């Protein structure tokens, strides 16, 4: 069991390193504009403390964490030039020894999406109730 947990802990650390490396890479001027946009979205979502699909929703709550984010990371890595990615990964390893960064802008954006969705849902329900 310890061996199993150790492997998962190592994978989680690698995941954090890759996401932070993508953050560093998307800021590099050698990265194409389309890769910057996609990578920025993936990084913002991965660093956000709030999910679009909350984890308390059975099965679907973990789909974004287990499928969508890793898929986004893989696609973003393929869009970034190899030399830029290698430099960013080296910097990420150095920085993450000190602690994980947090993207508060992404958290605010996701909260706003939830608030707007809830407002729209309430408006629709009120419209049905009036009929």
Residue 46's pLDDT is: 80
| C-alpha–C-alpha distance, residues 20 and 85, integer Å | 11
Which ranges of 27-68 does DSSP label H, i.e. alpha helix?
33-47, 60-63
In degrees and rounded to multiples of 5, residue 92 shows phi and psi of -60, -45
Least confident of 12-16, 30-34, 57-61: 57-61
Residue with tokens 């989680």: 12
- pLDDT digit string, tens, across residues 73-109: 999 999 999 999 999 998 888 877 666 555 677 677 7
Q: How many helices (H) and strands (E) does the chain have?
A: 6, 0
Residue 51 has pLDDT above 80, yes or no: no
Confidence grade of residue 32 (pLDDT, cut at 50, 70, 90): very high
Could you state, in order of their start, the residue ranges of all structural domains in the chain? 2-130
């Amino acid at each position: 069991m310890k061996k199993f947990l150790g492997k998962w802990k190592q994978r989680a650390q690698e995941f954090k390193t890759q996401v932070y490396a993508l953050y560093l890479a998307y800021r590099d001027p050698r990265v194409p504009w389309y890769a910057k946009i996609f990578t920025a979205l993936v990084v913002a979502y991965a660093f956000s403390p709030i999910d679009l699909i909350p984890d308390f929703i059975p099965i679907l709550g973990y789909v974004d964490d287990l499928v969508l984010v890793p898929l986004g990371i893989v696609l973003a890595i393929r869009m970034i030039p190899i030399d830029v990615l290698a430099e960013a990964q080296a910097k990420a390893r150095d920085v993450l020894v000190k602690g994980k960064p947090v993207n508060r802008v992404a958290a605010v954006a996701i909260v706003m999406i939830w608030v707007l969705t809830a407002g729209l849902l309430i408006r629709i329900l009120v419209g049905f109730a009036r009929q």
